[in-house]
Structure 1
Amino acid sequence: MPTTPTPKDRSHELVVVANRLPVDSRTLPDGATEWVTSPGGLVTAMESVMRTVDSGAWVGWAGSPGEPPAPFEADGMSLYPVRLEQEDVERYYEGYSNATLWPLYHDVIVDPEFHRGWWDSYLATNRRFADSAAPVAAPGGTIWVHDYQLQLVPRMIREKRSDARIGFFNHIPFPSVELFSQLPKRNSILRGLLGADLIGFQRESDSLNFVAAVRKLLGYHVDGLTISVPGVGAAPMREVEVRTFPISIDSSAVSALTEDEEIRERARALRHDLGDPAKVVLGVDRLDYTKGIRHRLKAWGELLDDGLIDPHDTVMIQVATPSRERVEAYRQLRDEVELTVGRINGEHAPLGRPAVSYQHHSFDRREMTALFMAADVVLVTALRDGMNLVAKEYVASRPDLQGVLVLSEFAGAADELRAAVLVNPHDIDELKSAILRALAMPEEEQEEAMRSLRHQVMENDVQSWAHDFLEHLEHAGREAQAAVPVVRLRGDEPSAPEEIDEALRAFADVPRLLIASDFDGVLAPIVEDRDAVQPDAEALGALRDLAEMPGVAVALVSGRALEDLDRHTQMPSSVVLVGSHGAEVGALPPWMQAEVLDRSALSMTPEKEELLATITATLRRIARAHPGTEVETKPTAAVLHTRSARGRGGINATESALEYATTLPDVTVTPGKEVVEFSVVHTSKGVAVDALARASASDAWLYLGDDVTDESVFAEAEEQDVTLKVGGGDTAAALRIADTVAAREVLQRLRKLRGEQG
């Protein structure tokens, strides 16, 4: 596969997020690494879609634990590997994804295991995928997240990129609300998925199950398959659409392989190697307990025991592709299947020919096509399956209109392939009857059924599936795209020093200035104990000096209560203190026009006092349930602090607080770094800085901030203003600096430049 070391562009129109990258690594004889396209329907679908966009990217795990390769390009796609350690593989993937979610979502055929440590790993790994995907999508771009391993990712991306269209497709079934309700953290999963604009499922029943779970467990309003998702606090409500998109295969490519003379000859050779039996019956599955392999072998064994099938005339091939062999349930299944096959062959196989030819390894696409062409009957008897593409591959492999498909009614494919012999695989007698019916089906009846099946499969291929989903997502995401927030910088890289200095020089030349800054994370490093905060004395000194210069107004704008801010900074009256995100304003210098500051919105009414008391009581109940969590009260707000919470208490307390926030449409709720603030007064740092700029009659302002609460200031900046984000993450600020040390240096540099103007 042709590759280049790094993507040329980190701003992509379409970003696919899946557990695995679409390539596998292969070590060459000289030790170099070659990337080979992975087989699979999703890769095929996305290849066709990527050809229609200017720039496409794929975010996923490269397949080996430890340090991932650097981002690279392959076959026209930019690939961004996500790091998974061995512990992540064991806990996030083998644990929570495949020993908790997989069995639960497949009707508890095997009991799911619930371990809190697995959930922690699932949460952290989903965050890693979201952090990798969010920065590489273009403004207003599309991000398509896939499958049950990444159900928290849509919401995590939305928190960073509300401008993007976000889609999610679940490739496996979604369980009934009764089963789903057993899952610890079930509401977190639902809210994670509801970060998407469009959620797709394989079957209509899956869509209905999901909507029922949202209605019952979250209490959200549902109109048909449209879910109204409340905003947090005063944020607007969003509508999330749920739809059914049955996935398919690259049917034309599969069908075309049947014209290859080598494959035709291989199909004939396969039958000859089996002794040229009258009938060949084929099962092709990943070795998974959901696929019904044990039930199928039981039915086959009984047919042989009953003498209804003659092993001299009829042979069964069972291909069982190795799967998740580190998971105990899969190791047990392999042992059981191999014992059953051995027993059947020991009792019924003629000399020189198996009754069941068991193949526990993978076959390439050409070999699989030959197997399908050689098979008179294919058994797809899954106990529960999202779709099952084997059924569609068999149909696509039979342009001769011969062969019979026996298909479980519990596979998603049964909704579309109605001309198959449909069966309940749990009923062994019914399964035996279906096998006998398929073996005895006349050629005319086979042709009639296969013609119908091929029409469905050939007309609805995987490319159509992908384009259909993205077309619906484009419309579903229009509302989100209409409210695209300003994002001027992405990632974590600080701006060039010369760029910062040029901006400071130009700013220092402006006649009347407002210099404003956040406190925690900018002038003082963030610490666990908020009362133990140690501000940078030199940074505060620079601000004091600036405040004494002609034509310069200085303000500190913090989320802390005004009294708390005053106690920790001890600034002179020449520096304006603004607390509680703008809800509290301290004493103003005599030259500042106090009447310009509109304080009417800051007044507390009896109704607001009562609401604040209720919020405070609720947050204290949450805090009592999570040791180490604290509630701070302010004149107009209550704040939940989780920085000192023990264990996973901080995450759980924040989840509870944000869930509570959706019930408070008239309250401004601001999540920050290990903090959630509930304010009954509608204000923001952006409003406060704008008012201060007017009150000081400044010609331009500069603002330093590090948190999401500072984005309201950055977004208001005009061309002459200077905005500096301290730390990483997407931001509306025009410049980025690394840390509090860099913030001090900016203020000192500004003091020097302004002093030179005097």
Structure 2
Amino acid sequence: MTNTPEPDDLYVDHAYDMVVVSNRLPVDYREGPGGETEWRSSPGGLVTALEPVMRAADGAWVGWAGVADREFDPFEHDGISIIPVPLSADELEDYYEGFSNDTLWPLYHDVIAPPSFHREWWDAYVRVNRRFAEAAARAAAEGAVVWVQDYQLQLVPRMLRESRPDLVIGFFNHIPFPAYGIYSQLPWRRQVIDGLLGADVIGFQRAADAGNFSRAVRRLFGYTTRGTVIEVPEPDGEVRRVVARHFPISIDAGGFEELARRPDIQARARQIREELGNPKTVMLGVDRLDYTKGIRHRLKAFGELLRDGRLNVEDVTLVQVASPSRERVETYRQLRDEIELMVGRLNGDYSTLGHQAIAYLHHGYPREEMVALYLAADIMLVTALRDGMNLVAKEYVACRFDNDGVLLLSEFTGASDELRQAVLVNPHDIEGLKDAMTEAVAMPQRERSRRMRALRKRVRDNDVANWSATFLKALTGSGQVTAGIPDSLQAAIAHLAGAERLLVALDFDGTLAPLVDRPEDARATDRALEAIRRLAAIEDTRVAIVSGRALDSLGEVADPPTGTLLSGSHGVELKLDTGPIQIDLRDAELAKLDRLNEIVESVASGADGAWIERKPAGLALHTRRLSANDGVALQHDAKERVEAELLGITVRTGKAVLEFAVRSSDKGESLNRLRQHVGASVVLYIGDDVTDEDAFAALDGDDVGVKVGQGKSLAAHRVRSPEEVAELLERLADARDAARGGASAWT
């Protein structure tokens, strides 16, 4: 065994603002005819997803080269800087084949196969994760974004945070995350969760996976979780907010369609059908040879359809591409034997001289050949028993520019959350799977076209560029907010329009009303007020204004239309259909409030332009009329004085305002109370301030958050100003009114 070099021996001559860390590099090693080193772009979902991102960012990719016991210097390939990390043969066996693929993979896929737990595998996993973390830390510039990929490297985020706290760290889990009852079997369950919590944003394929992770955090650590936000205590006493939510991955849809439109690839598709004997129907399965993909279930159903005469081998051929996978792992060797035995038996029983029942191909193919196969196939079979996403389903849809073909899709794939116009199946139900296959064969052309058009729109609107941009925006909050309503937000509006019971919750200052020097002068724009009136008149639609202002002040400046719900003082005060809900402070809280007023008045009295807004359970120190430096200094002084003398005071920083409360509440809690009060199935929340992040954190599932202006935010969407908020509300009112058939009044 060749000695694996220490990380310090790995030379990196450049610091990068963006670093991707994954088990494999986006290139494969080849030895040329003269013994020289050659690198070729490697196929695969992750590479397909990240190639465009890395080229645009001029970033570096840290990963293993795919060859054990070899060292390679950093190099550039196809516009991406490559930083290879070496692995020894023993590490490959223990860290990769062992812990990653014989412990984590089966555990995370609901124990379809039993996982193995070995301490030496765990030790190798820790050691290799540290090597990847150190390589990434060395390559990253000050304040760089480091995006760690997948289950092989779950300890890297915490290791990076400990060595480079300046970094912005993201992690994306490409496979499912199991329910706690399954995850809890892992002997090193706390260490893995703690490793992931080193990231600022942890991404999952499905909302259910993110929920499973948050529940595991609560069970193992007891940390507070609110919506998609986890509050992680740090050693210095600070609480760090970690976002854990779903970001469904996608493909370069335009690139696949471009290939599909090439005449040579279309000619190859016709040739494939001829080589298969020109059957009426070609079914296609494309999978890694893995027990999670449901290949055995697919073959069993197809064989029974031939046996029972519901399909005829003269008319229907199944093409099964099963690319080699982890062939040194015993479970995978056994799986290959089983599948090839099934294929041989079915072909022996049902093939004729002119028509083969199953064309079985144990190869990997270049993208061009795969696109030709997609075009040749009338039916795409995706029958995975558990799959984080399944990009093959999206690739097939992207290639069908002819709006033909049928996608038969397992409901246990992440793709099924998005591709609802597919024929959805439970692959464990063999009879149901057989019925779905015959339904797909007999489906009329008009129905095929209707479904495929809807599927293609979904894949085009949510391509890989949108996936990466959404994740990176959640991670960094960076990027210029462009004018108008972005396409992704327009799609969200269309989704909200069809909600069963919709709650539209809106911040006031900076969202409905432009910011002004004198808060009493603030007014919502006329367009926004009219849009709110229209929304409030639509059946099953409620509008709420959620503000840090005291309820009396909010009522005066907002001029809310009839039926609008109000939340003031960050949720301490509410005005619901039943009337205002008055707070009743205890004697100790009243005493604290009196002393709080004295302290802040004393601080503010020496600053011309500072003023105090009093609220039922606290007060706000406004510094908007001061210079930026003077305002920061005054707020710092007030915060120090209050915290030194009073315990249990909630302090909240906003735009040129510092707020204190003797009774804790926030906009997230308020939003949850409003949701419960109106029985909303979906929520739209729009806000511009730091205090609105609590509300964004409370959003879940199909809810939509919109941040107004720049700055880091948990919201998935952005607009620039209150004028664009008004435009957004107008569009929602139009769409909602049309969806509800013009019906008015909440019932």
Q: What does residue 215 of structure 1 align with?
A: 218
1:155-194 to 2 correspondences below 5 Å: 155-194=158-197
Cα separation, 2, equivalents of 1:476 and 1:142: 11
Cα separation, 2, equivalents of 1:384 and 1:356: 24
3-state SS of the aligned residue for 1:319?
strand
Q: 1:69 aligns with which of 64, 67, 72?
A: 72
Q: Partner amino acid for 1:226?
A: V
Q: What does residue 353 of structure 2 align with?
A: 351
1:391-416 deviation line (CA, Å, top 9, x unaligned): 00110110101110000000000000
Q: Partner amino acid for 1:262?
A: D
Q: What does residue 44 of structure 1 align with?
A: 48
1:537-591 deviation line (CA, Å, top 9, x unaligned): xxxxxxxxxxxxxxxxxxxxxxxxxxxxxxxxxxxxxxxxxxxxxxxxxxxxxxx
1:322-352 deviation line (CA, Å, top 9, x unaligned): 1001011101110000110111111111123
Q: What does residue 455 of structure 2 align with?
A: 453
1:116-265 to 2 correspondences below 5 Å: 116-232=119-235, 234-265=236-267
Is the CA contact 1:7–1:73 (under 8 Å) kept in the aligned structure 2? no
Q: Displacement, 1:27?
A: 1.7
Q: Displacement, 1:61?
A: 0.4
Cα separation, 2, equivalents of 1:363 and 1:258: 15
The reply on whether 1:109 has 2:112 as its aligned counterpart is yes
Is the CA contact 1:105–1:175 (under 8 Å) kept in the aligned structure 2? yes
Q: Displacement, 1:52?
A: 3.5
Runs of 4+ residues over 6 Å off in structure 1: none
Q: What does residue 647 of structure 1 align with?
A: none
Is the CA contact 1:241–1:476 (under 8 Å) kept in the aligned structure 2? no
Q: Partner amino acid for 2:73?
A: A
1:363-419 deviation line (CA, Å, top 9, x unaligned): 111111111111111100000000001100110110101110000000000000000
1:432-447 to 2 correspondences below 5 Å: 432-447=434-449
1:440-481 deviation line (CA, Å, top 9, x unaligned): 00000000000000001112111221121111100399xxxx
Is the CA contact 1:285–1:321 (under 8 Å) kept in the aligned structure 2? yes
Q: Displacement, 1:9?
A: 4.5
Q: Partner amino acid for 2:401?
A: P
3-state SS of the aligned residue for 1:379?
strand
3-state SS of the aligned residue for 1:368?
helix
1:603-643 deviation line (CA, Å, top 9, x unaligned): xxxxxxxxxxxxxxxxxxxxxxxxxxxxxxxxxxxxxxxxx
The reply on whether 1:91 has 2:94 as its aligned counterpart is yes
Quick one: percent identity of the two aligned structures? 60
Cα separation, 1, equivalents of 2:267 and 2:179: 47
3-state SS of the aligned residue for 1:347?
helix
Cα separation, 2, equivalents of 1:459 and 1:416: 11
Cα separation, 2, equivalents of 1:291 and 1:67: 32
Q: Displacement, 1:136?
A: 1.2
Cα separation, 2, equivalents of 1:49 and 1:391: 22
Q: Partner amino acid for 1:329?
A: T
Q: Displacement, 1:144?
A: 0.3
1:672-722 deviation line (CA, Å, top 9, x unaligned): xxxxxxxxxxxxxxxxxxxxxxxxxxxxxxxxxxxxxxxxxxxxxxxxxxx
Q: What does residue 32 of structure 1 align with?
A: 36
Q: What does residue 363 of structure 1 align with?
A: 365
Q: Partner amino acid for 1:202?
A: Q
Is the CA contact 1:198–1:476 (under 8 Å) kept in the aligned structure 2? no
Q: Displacement, 1:73?
A: 2.0
Q: Partner amino acid for 1:57?
A: A
Q: What does residue 603 of structure 1 align with?
A: none
Q: Compute the TM-score of the two structures, normalised by the length of structure 2.
A: 0.62
Segments of structure 2 that go 5 or more residues without pairing to the other structure are 1-9, 480-747
Is the CA contact 2:29–2:67 (under 8 Å) kept in the aligned structure 1? no
Cα separation, 2, equivalents of 1:51 and 1:331: 37
Q: Displacement, 1:44?
A: 3.5
Q: Partner amino acid for 2:183?
A: F
1:228-278 deviation line (CA, Å, top 9, x unaligned): 11112x431211001211111111010111121111111111111111111
1:256-306 deviation line (CA, Å, top 9, x unaligned): 111211111111111111111111111111000000000011101111111
Is the CA contact 1:91–1:121 (under 8 Å) kept in the aligned structure 2? yes
Q: What does residue 269 of structure 1 align with?
A: 271
Cα separation, 1, equivalents of 2:70 and 2:364: 28
Is the CA contact 2:11–2:73 (under 8 Å) kept in the aligned structure 1? no
Structure possessing the higher radius of gyration over alpha carbons: 1
Q: What does residue 14 of structure 1 align with?
A: 18
1:494-573 to 2 correspondences below 5 Å: none
Q: What does residue 324 of structure 2 align with?
A: 322
Q: What does residue 410 of structure 2 align with?
A: 408
Q: What does residue 470 of structure 2 align with?
A: 468
Q: 1:7 to 1:45 in 2, by over 3 A?
A: farther
1:102-156 deviation line (CA, Å, top 9, x unaligned): 0000010000011111000001110110111111111111000000000000000
Bigger drift between 138-147 and 66-75 goes to 66-75
Q: Displacement, 1:77?
A: 2.2
Q: Displacement, 1:37?
A: 1.5
Q: Give the CA RMSD over aligned residues.
A: 1.5
Is the CA contact 1:7–1:78 (under 8 Å) kept in the aligned structure 2? no
Q: Displacement, 1:28?
A: 1.7
Is the CA contact 1:201–1:243 (under 8 Å) kept in the aligned structure 2? yes
Q: Partner amino acid for 1:340?
A: M
Is the CA contact 1:41–1:462 (under 8 Å) kept in the aligned structure 2? no
Bigger drift between 20-29 and 100-109 goes to 20-29
Q: Displacement, 1:45?
A: 3.4
Q: Displacement, 1:76?
A: 2.6
Cα separation, 2, equivalents of 1:320 and 1:41: 15
Q: Compute the TM-score of the two structures, normalised by the length of structure 1.
A: 0.61
Q: What does residue 493 of structure 2 align with?
A: none
Cα separation, 2, equivalents of 1:7 and 1:38: 24
Is the CA contact 2:12–2:138 (under 8 Å) kept in the aligned structure 1? no
Cα separation, 2, equivalents of 1:449 and 1:177: 36
Cα separation, 2, equivalents of 1:450 and 1:45: 22
Residues matched between the structures, number: 470
Is the CA contact 2:276–2:355 (under 8 Å) kept in the aligned structure 1? yes
1:681-696 to 2 correspondences below 5 Å: none
Q: Displacement, 1:353?
A: 2.1
Q: Displacement, 1:207?
A: 0.5
3-state SS of the aligned residue for 1:92?
helix
Cα separation, 2, equivalents of 1:329 and 1:404: 32
Q: Displacement, 1:217?
A: 1.3
Segments of structure 1 that go 5 or more residues without pairing to the other structure are 1-5, 478-758
Cα separation, 1, equivalents of 2:42 and 2:275: 30
Q: What does residue 738 of structure 1 align with?
A: none
Bigger drift between 176-185 and 43-52 goes to 43-52
Is the CA contact 1:130–1:157 (under 8 Å) kept in the aligned structure 2? yes
Cα separation, 1, equivalents of 2:32 and 2:413: 40
Q: Partner amino acid for 1:395?
A: V
